[in-house]
Amino acid sequence: MSAAPPLANASTPRPTPLRAVAGPASAPPRSERVTRIREDLLAAPYRLCTQKAERITEWFRANGVRPPLADAIARVHWSLARRAIARNLGSGAPQSRLAIAANATLQRLYLWCEAARRREPPIAEHAHALAYLLERAPLRIHEHELLVGNASSQRIGAPIHPDYGGLLLLPELATLARRPVNPLEVDDAQRRTLEREIFPYWFSRSVLARAPLLARDPQLANTLVAGRRYVLTQFAGISHVTPDYASVVREGFEGILARVRAARGEAAGRDAAAFYDAAEIAARAAIAFGERWRRHCLDEAAREPRSARAAELHAMAEAFAQVPARPARSFREALQSIVTAHVLVHQESFQHGVSFGRLDQLLDPYYQRDRAAGILSREEAVELLACFLAKAAELLPLFNAMATEYFSGLSSASGITLGGTGPDGRDATNDTSFLFLDAYDQLRLRQPNLHLRVHPASDPRLLARAHEVVKAGGGMPAFFNDEAIAPALERAGVAPADARDYAIVGCVEWGVPRKSFPAAGAAFVSLPAALDAALRRAPAPATIGDVADAFVAELERTVAEAAHGNDAIERAHALHRPTPLLSLLVEGCVESGVEVNAGGARYGTTGMQGVGLADVADSLAALEQVVFEERRLSYAALLRALDDDFAGDPALAQWLAQRVAKYGCDRGRSERWARFAADRWCEIVSRHRNPRGGRYLPGFWTMTTHVGFGRRLGALPSGRRRGEPLADGISPANGADRDGPTASMLAAVRATSDGVANGLCLNEKIDPWMVQGDGGTELLVALTRGYFAAGGMQVQYNVVDPAVLLDAKAHPERHRDLVVRISGYSAYFCDLTPEMQDDIIARTLHGAAAPPPGCQAGAP
């Protein structure tokens, strides 16, 4: 294996001296084991998993609050409302006021009866239910893997969570296996169990049922099926957190349990006592779960006829004899401890965006120790990391048809953060930073997300290797600017030392590992929908300022409504669906005796995303230029054109789209409006506080909500036609960034508000010929470096041939492993909705024009 290249030149900022960090110029060949695991995962069907739903329903039926009158009310409610709600969820039509009132009355009666007969607090019930589940959850060891753990009974499984928002699948159970996008195999026995036992039991008991009663506006129930102005996600679970896996690795659950018992002695009050009781139950259940795994590995080893595989199974059992109960002693044990903790968190609750934090910093001491002891080679470490990444690729989120529009691609959005700086501000690159890149390069599945923190003194070898990995496709890693993000977190109230230790949560969101509960994906708001409503509320504005004022007023109303709805959901979690095990893994909870959903975390924020910033900027620029300055068109005439989608004047739509200044290729009007809209968005969101006492933090990232919102929105003054996707993240609208990646990057810098605190996403699509060879790598690194030097926060690259995308859409069977970057996460192209596939294809391709002579592929 060749040594890492030397630093480029003396003027390059020098990283902190490293102990012979071995960053290879390219990855070692894929091992046979990794090849087999990759093939198995790509071939595995997507299946519904009902193991958690069945076990927790069993426990609550036998042990939960079940006063006869409450049970009778729940049964009546289910029988009266199930068909109407199924129609409502399936068609997207809102419930009538009468139906909402009737549901609320029955729900209140149920809750009154439940409260009158409750024997234990909800946190104790859910701790016992988790322990019951962990005692009975099936354990799966798949061929070739060296690390084990499964949060699903399937190789690729989508667990259903009836205690949260699982009821949303009610209208689709019969067709789930046949739906055109993201079908999931489900057998008849699962369907019958869900319809006859699980859904009826949870119909009145889930977060989905309880949250609307905690809202001032009972119309919150209709938010689920509207999706035009905003989308709230936390009916399904708060999620989006970076748990304290470091404590599991360094202390084990026995050490965590000792801290719980020590803290209990200093606590007072009934709520704190209930918390510590539940925390102890959860910690003991985690320890017992590891022991179950140890025995299972020994049983499998005894049955295994192949001596080599039997030895591997014995090694797994040996690891479980130590972890997760006690501190890890080796690289393998540290990885197995993290995998097990990750499984435990996902068994407890629906968790989307649960991330691993800065794993190169956590794991490198174990790697160095094992290398020095001669018990681990570099190649073995890469293979173990590939097995680790494969475990994170096994879990799918379960979305209904509408949610699939907004969150297409089936990403669980678990993230791993590499690089960055250490506590002393010096470069933190280490050997394990390179090992992760090599492992991903061998495996190349759609998840987990890889994120690389960059700063002026980042090791040039790490940047070169990371950009080489990006060039091969898949959009990973994404790049984040320490010098922009850490100060932004400080402005949002994070202590400087914690801000410097940030990690990426889920897609592109920022969080403090171990200490924050950021609820970063709580809400997505369509900014152009607010502008569209404002245009109708301002029938005869005298100036563009009047339009802007109307837009801001509409945005204030929308954000207040979305925040209020989300607050009701968060209160429902705190009151009725606590997570005692996760609370063990978020700093502040054990110390305070307060559960994480109730505000126990050091930082307890909520994230709200603005979608379609570029569309608002382009539309305000068009109004200013065409209506108020050049007076080519009256305001009323423009509204009429929008109402009929430019059907009477298609040339006007074309002229607006092509001749009026656009964000991404104009340093004047459109960028000024983009910054105006971004500043107002951040100001408005930041005024709100959540029930946990934390701030609402504004961001600009979309997943695929820009497609869902766009489908429900009419034409815009920018020339965008009805139903077309909105712009994603902080990127220009499709086709608008005609002046190349540098122009769109600088536009993003100028548009980024100082108030951004929940992350943003800039997509750049690059033709492979533009970045081929070492020169192409240097070009891509320079592009990232230049953007960050100008103040950019985040960038991700899709390096992909458009002909491949077109062929993949026409012949998906040929491209099952084609990974593309969406908005903060990667997905298999074939798992996307047709609309999202078209959006990926339509994004401007920089370098797509025929290369100049001498630059064709393969030319020197």
76 Cβ partners below 8 Å, 6+ apart? 106
**The tokens of 817 are what?**
């492993």
Every domain of the chain with CATH number 3.20.70.20 lies at 231-251+327-860
Query: Ranked by mean pLDDT, which of 52-66, 659-673, 788-802 comes out on top?
Result: 788-802
Q: Which amino acid is at 634?
A: S
DSSP codes joined into one string, 279-299: HHHHHHHHHHHHHHHHHHHHH
Residue 22 has pLDDT above 60, yes or no: no
pTM value is 0.93
Return the percentage of the chain with pLDDT > 70, whole number: 93
DSSP 8-state class, residue 608: E
Would you state the pLDDT for residue 238?
84
Which of 339, 345, 346 minimizes the C-alpha distance to 324?
A: 339
Average pLDDT score over the chain = 90
Residue 49 near residue 158 (C-beta atoms within 8 A)? yes
**Greater confidence, 787 or 68?**
787
Which of 554, 555, 522, 544 minimizes the C-alpha distance to 681?
A: 555
Query: Ranked by mean pLDDT, which of 199-203, 268-272, 568-572 comes out on top?
Result: 568-572
When pLDDT is averaged across residues 157-179 and rounded to a whole number, the result is 91
When pLDDT is averaged across residues 253-268 and rounded to a whole number, the result is 92
**Greater confidence, 816 or 783?**
783
Return the percentage of the chain with pLDDT > 90, whole number: 74
Which of 754, 569, 609, 605 minimizes the C-alpha distance to 689?
A: 605
Backbone angles phi, psi at 763, to 5 degrees: -95, 135
Q: What is the pLDDT of residues 27-61, one digit of tens each?
A: 567 899 999 999 999 999 999 999 999 999 999 99
Q: What is the pLDDT of residues 324-368, one digit of tens each?
A: 999 999 999 999 999 999 999 999 998 788 999 999 999 999 999
Question: Regarding the domain delimited by 231-251+327-860, which CATH topology (the fold level of the hierarchy) does it fall under?
Answer: Anaerobic Ribonucleotide-triphosphate Reductase Large Chain (3.20.70)
Would you state the pLDDT for residue 268?
74
Q: What is the pLDDT of residues 123-141, one digit of tens each?
A: 999 999 999 999 999 999 9
Residue 21 near residue 4 (C-beta atoms within 8 A)? yes
Name all contacts of 561-564 with Cβ < 8 Å and 24+ positions apart. 561/217, 561/229, 561/230, 562/229, 562/230, 562/232, 562/523, 562/525, 562/608, 563/523, 563/608, 563/685, 563/688, 563/690, 563/696, 564/215, 564/216, 564/217
Q: What is the pLDDT of residues 409-445, one digit of tens each?
A: 888 889 999 999 998 899 999 999 999 999 999 999 9
In angstroms, the CA 72 to CA 49 distance is 29
